[in-house]
Amino acid sequence: MSSREALTVSAALLGVFLILTGLVVVDRDLVVDRSLLEWIVDERTSGLTSAVQLLTHLGSGWVLYPLTAVAAGVWWWRDSDWRPGVLLAASLLGATVLYGVTKAAVERPRPPVADAVGTYTNWSFPSGHATQSMAFYGMLAFLIAGGRVRPAWPWATAGVLVLIVGASRIYLGAHWLTDVLGGWALGGSWWMAVVAAGISAGWVRTRVLLR
């Protein structure tokens, strides 16, 4: 992947994010959001709920920031290279800042408390967990694969983790569907922007870091 290609993907995802932002600003109670949440509430089971409550932490800052420190430490210990750790940290930190600013600007209410499993504060759009997980796991997969399509396992693993985190937020009633989609688009756009900067600076290795 070249820096130009990364910027193109970043711009496309930013466009998707802006469209979703416009939708939720115009209509904060979209039919698709309401219908999906109502169906989920009817289909919840105690066993699945317990599992989802655990899995949702895969997108929490309490998990992702320590993982960033561990990954950076491994790269430094193994290769004496601090650049992958900086890129991973920049992707996660920037995504965190962006979703925080957007939440404050849009001020979309969370789903009804009666439909939620747990207590959630702050505004709803975009989902912070979805934004962070996309930025973190996407960048981690990119760095592990050395910017290549192969091997496929880092990308597949990242995709599954991002999907699990996003689905968990909807299942628990913490966010609407469009909150999660907006988070994925915002996190992906920032991640690709950081990738473009890393490629331009010559910070991206072209070899697979883990096999």
Q: What is the pLDDT along the chain (211 residues), one digit of tens a residue?
A: 778 889 999 999 999 999 999 999 998 889 999 999 999 999 999 999 999 999 999 999 999 999 999 999 998 888 788 899 999 999 999 999 999 999 999 999 999 999 999 888 889 999 999 999 999 999 999 999 877 777 789 999 999 999 999 999 999 999 999 999 999 999 999 999 999 999 888 877 655 555 4
Global pTM reads 0.92
* Domain ranges (residues) in the chain: 3-200
Cβ neighbours of residue 21 closer than 8 Å, sequence gap 6 or more:
102, 106, 125, 182
Q: What is the largest CA-CA distance in the chain?
A: 52
Q: Which amino acid is at 12?
A: A
Q: Give the pLDDT score at 150.
A: 75
Q: Give the pLDDT score at 109.
A: 93
Cβ neighbours of residue 127 closer than 8 Å, sequence gap 6 or more:
99, 166, 169, 174, 175, 179, 180, 182, 183
**What distance, in Å, lies between the first and last C-alpha atoms of the chain?**
20
Distance CA 152, CA 178 (A): 28
Instruction: Quickly tell me which residue has 């940290």 as its tokens.
Output: 89
Instruction: Quickly tell me which residue has 């399509």 as its tokens.
Output: 149
- Per residue in 181-210, pLDDT (tens digit) is 999 999 999 999 999 999 888 877 655 555
- Count the neighbouring beta carbons within 10 Å of the beta carbon of residue 14: 17
Distances (CA, A) of 183 to 60, 128, 133, 170, 194: 13, 7, 9, 12, 16
Tokens of 38: 């109502």
Is 183:170 a contact under the CB 8 Å cutoff? no
